[in-house]
Amino acid sequence: MTLSNSLATMDVATSLHPYTDARAFEATGPLIMDRGDGIYVYDSSGKQYIEALAGLWSVAVGFSEKRLLSAAMQQMEKLPYYHIFAGKSHEPSIRLSDKLVEIADDQRLSRVFYTNSGSEANDTIIKLVWFMNNALGRPQKKTFLARNKAYHGITIGAGSLTGLPNNHRDFDLPAIPVVHLTCPHYYRFGIDGESEAEFTQRLLVEAEHTILQKGPETIAAFIGEPVMAAGGVLLPPEGYWPGIEALCRKYDILLVADEVITGFGRLGTSFGYKKFGFSPDIVTVSKQITSSYMPLGAVLFGERIYNAVADNSHKIGTFGHGYTGSAHPVATAVALENLKIIEERDLIGNAAKLQDQFQDRLSQLAELPFVGEVRGVGLICAVELVADKASKRPFSKPGRVGTLAMQIGHEQGLIFRSIGDTLALCPPLIVTEDQISEIVARMHRVLTLTVAQIKALGID
């Protein structure tokens, strides 16, 4: 038995994989990745793949950046671990907080709290906002507004904010007070004959009606991704975010931007809220903050929230929340170097420069059979496959075609994410013009072969 086969057998025997059909996995076994180089990864047999999802929407600087390795090793040698509980601190976390506030460049965002992941960051928001409102004598102001098809993580709190059915099903979620509003995806949820502007207005009316029905005194925050990535790369209709911000200001509701995927350059701007013209009260980040070389998440917020929390911590004697790995010195050192690389190589500018080529070339795939919509912004895009293009009718068994396309993608050396029957791409920010051309060429082959299989198998 080869090492690869031995590892596969061991994996099937001992592991439970996230976002995986466990019984199907027992039959197929894992695709074992062995190494990475730039935008490419190689499996245990040596086969090369373009990693066109940047891992999980997250590896900005590619899979072989030696400067991040060096930053981790240097910090390991100096101070491999220390916490920031009870007034302790260390240089990497202090400098990273200062850097994050500088990048945010918004007077509403002047404070940082560290977590290990985006899920924990969004979970922290819930507790932070509840703690604040209790401190301010507003114990009823606890409900969150989110959206259907939103993704905010998988902990009990963040999973409750998430608006994807399979993240709730049989987990007894939502477990907190949350209302999920209509998904702001015009292609799928616009009414026949309704313009995009009318769609936006309908969503804003729905949001205000919900606020008034529940009572503004009960609504704590509105949380949303600037672009809903894990829901299928769903772009907001024009005017949506400024309209939501206006409602939040009108009814004293905190506005939370979940920038776990859109932060640090994905859309050709430092943050998604700058792309869509709104100013949040709270921002969550993770993923590209370290290019996922180390686990790290953070919550950015301002003095209004900080002062209420600080006063209450003084009254109680502590702010009773935090993680063993909060502001881990190695993770924060890697984040600092990662952000330095993004700045020095102008990777945000690279995303802005290449977005037209990326989006235009991929949009041409809409001419193929069964391609309903190609959508995206910056260096993130999705191809939605449908049974009937004219009516936008989905396939009768959701996810079957997407899974088929993903398997064909592996055969063609292209890794992307299948979200139901939507195929998502999100390459590392270091991607070049030639590499984008190759991604599109491989995606065209994948779709051509998928179309042939749809017809051969009679999938409807």
Looking at the fold, whether 52 and 144 belong to one and the same domain comes out as: no
Q: pLDDT averaged over the chain?
A: 97
Helix axes 347-363, 433-457, angle to 10 degrees: 30
Residue 102 CA: distances (Å) to CA of 60, 298, 347, 423 = 19, 14, 17, 35
For residues 443 and 381, the answer to whether their CB atoms sit within 8 Å is no
Query: Residues 249, 112, 119, 305: is their CA dihedral positive or negative?
Result: negative
pLDDT for residue 5 is more than 90: no
Same domain, 39 and 50: yes
Q: 278 and 154, same structural domain?
A: yes
Q: 0.95 cut: is pTM over it?
A: yes
Query: Which of 316, 344, 372 is a domain's end point?
Result: 344
The reply to whether 25 falls in a domain is no
Residue 182 included in any domain: yes
Strand order in the sheet with 417-419: 371-377, 380-385, 422-425, 417-419
Helix (H), strand (E) at residue 255:
strand 254-258
Domain boundary among 321, 344, 367: 344
Residue 242 in domain = yes
Strand order in the sheet with 254-258: 111-115, 297-301, 282-285, 254-258, 219-224, 143-147, 178-181
Direct distance between the N- and C-terminal alpha carbons of the chain, in angstroms, rounded to an integer: 41
Tell me if 240 sits within 8 A of 207, measured CB to CB.
no
Tokens of residue 67, six digits:
């400067």
Span 302-323, average pLDDT: 97
Residues 224 and 293 in one domain: yes
The string of DSSP codes covering 205-233 is HHHHHHHHHH-GGGEEEEEE-SSBTTTTS
Pairing type for strands 33-37 and 40-43 reads antiparallel
* pLDDT tens sequence across 208-255: 999 999 999 999 999 999 999 999 999 999 999 999 999 999 999 999
CA separation for the pair 268, 253 (Å, rounded): 28
Please state which of the ranges 4-8, 312-316, 376-380, 400-404 shows the lowest mean pLDDT. Answer: 4-8
Shared-domain flag, residues 305 and 392: no
The answer as to whether 106 is a domain residue is yes
Strands of 48-51's sheet, edge to edge? 33-37, 40-43, 48-51, 414-415
* Token pair in block for residue 256: 């939370």
Say whether both 243 and 327 belong to one domain: yes
Which uninterrupted H or E stretch holds 144? strand 143-147
In this structure, the dihedral spanned by the alpha carbons of residues 106, 110, 116 and 120, taken in order and rounded to 10 degrees, is -80
Instruction: Of 240, 233, 257, 156, give the one whose Cα is nearest residue 198.
Output: 240
- Is residue 190 one of the residues assigned to a domain? yes
Please state whether beta strands 380-385 and 422-425 pair in parallel, antiparallel, or not at all (unpaired). antiparallel
**pLDDT tens, residue by residue, 115-138:** 999 999 999 999 999 999 999 999
- 241 within some domain: yes
Q: What is the spatial distance between Cα 64 and Cα 171, in angstroms, rounded to a whole number?
A: 37
Q: Are 350 and 344 in contact (CB under 8 A)?
A: no
On whether both 424 and 334 belong to a single domain, the answer is no
Say if residue 431 is in the same domain as residue 330.
Answer: no
DSSP-derived secondary structure letter, 324: T
User: What is the DSSP secondary structure assignment for residue 154, as one 8-state letter?
Assistant: S
Number of domains in the chain: 2
The neighbouring-strand residues paired with 155 are none
Rounded CA-CA distance 235/184 in Å is 7
* 334 touches 67 (CB < 8 A): no
Q: Which domain holds residue 260?
A: 68-344
- Considering the domain architecture, whether residues 47 and 155 belong to the same structural domain is answered as no
Please check whether residues 128 and 163 belong to one and the same domain.
yes
Q: 286 with 121: CB under 8 angstroms? A: yes
What's the rounded Cα separation, in Å, for the pair 368 and 418?
A: 18
pLDDT of residue 1 exceeding 70, the answer is no
Answer yes or no: is pLDDT of 391 > 70: yes
Q: Are 180 and 163 in contact (CB under 8 A)?
A: yes
Give 174-185 pLDDT, tens digit per residue. 999 999 999 999
Q: Is the peptide bond before 174 cis (omega within 30 degrees of 0)?
A: yes
Over residues 324-333, the pLDDT tens digits come to: 999 999 999 9
For the CA atoms of 392, 393, 394, 397, the dihedral, rounded to the nearest 10 degrees, stands at -170
The answer as to whether 11 is a domain residue is no
Closest CA to 229 of 56, 48, 52, 42: 56
SS3 104: helix
Is the same domain home to 359 and 446? yes
415: pLDDT confidence band, cut at 50, 70 and 90?
Answer: very high
Confidence of residue 26 (pLDDT cuts 50, 70, 90): very high
Show which of 344, 366, 388 is a domain's final residue: 344
In sequence order, which ranges of 171-327 are alpha helices (DSSP H)?
Answer: 186-189, 196-214, 240-250, 272-276, 303-316
Look up the CATH number of the domain holding residue 296.
3.40.640.10
Q: Is 8 inside a domain boundary?
A: no
Q: What pLDDT, in 10s, does the model give residues 135-153?
A: 999 999 999 999 999 999 9
Q: Domain check: are 214 and 306 in the same one?
A: yes
The region that residue 258 occupies, defined by phi over 0 for left and psi between -120 and 50 for alpha, beta otherwise, is beta
Beta strands in 14-128 (DSSP E): 33-37, 40-43, 48-51, 111-115
